[in-house]
Amino acid sequence: MSIHRTAAEGFGRAAAAYERGRPGYPQAAIDWMVDQLDITSASTVVDLGAGTGKFSRMLRPTGARVIAIEPVAAMRVELARVVPGIEVLDGTAEAIPCGDASADAVTAAQAFHWFSGAAALREIHRVLRPQGGLGLIWNRRDKRDPLQAAIDAIIRPHRGRAPIHERDSWRESMMASALFRPTGERQFSYEQAVDADGLVARVLSISFIATLSDGERSTVRDQVSALVDRTPIMLPYLTDVFLFRRR
């Protein structure tokens, strides 16, 4: 199994900050995905790139069997700590440790842009049952908001070549694949309430920020801390959901 170096190093270093600072997802988006992908208490759902379980935990009320797949050991430890009882496996989207036709649905939250598209889609196709569903979801900073725009200005110079979903490069492999057909997409609005420490954790959890030197991360921390002098802080997001069916 191979993991993108920035993801392996950054998320390994920032697992606690990821859990502390990353937002969840709007319930309306979860409800729509669950309904459209026919997820029920009888379903098995494989959540790829599960991180600390921000998305996996939101599927538990469906009663479905949720299998969280996460390649970074520190993230798996944090996931097991905050979502006790969930099934957590070491694996990647390109090497899913599940049997053929063993899942009714596969999800990837804030993750698919890290995958090797064509290889991941072949694996997802393999583990899905016929007509099984694939759901992709991302929270995107709403940069119409002055605070989110200011955060973006701080982090953008450090981004380098780290994969980001905003470039939509993930669509290329998906649209070129004969293995899946699109069945719908929607956008939802969402707000995350954080305190000052949560805001800093949110930014420090970004993979390419977590891989910076201690001095550079300290500078970013100070720049972010200087942005606000009030609590609670509301961070608006646009949540994009894309749904597909196995052919």
Q: Classify residue 202: in a domain, yes or no.
A: no
Q: Classify residue 214: in a domain, yes or no.
A: no
Q: Structurally, how many domains does the chain consist of?
A: 1
- Per the structure, the complete domain to which residue 27 belongs is given by 5-140+168-190+238-246
- pLDDT tens for 69-86 read 999 999 999 999 999 999
Q: Classify residue 101: in a domain, yes or no.
A: yes
Residue 35 sits in a domain of what CATH number? 3.40.50.150
Q: Classify residue 87: in a domain, yes or no.
A: yes
- pLDDT tens for 187-219 read 999 999 999 999 999 999 998 998 999 999 999
Ranges of the chain whose pLDDT falls below 50? none
- Cα 91 versus chain centre, distance: 15
224 three-state secondary structure: helix
Q: Which two tokens stand for residue 240?
A: 């994009």
Identify any residues that bridge with 66 across adjacent strands, giving them in sequence order: 45
- The strand ranges marked E within 73-199 are 87-89, 103-109, 128-141, 180-194
Q: Classify residue 207: in a domain, yes or no.
A: no
The C-alpha atoms of residue 227 and residue 126 are separated, in whole angstroms, by 47
Provide the 8-state DSSP code for 157: G
209 three-state secondary structure: helix
Q: What are phi and psi of 141, to 5 degrees?
A: -55, 130
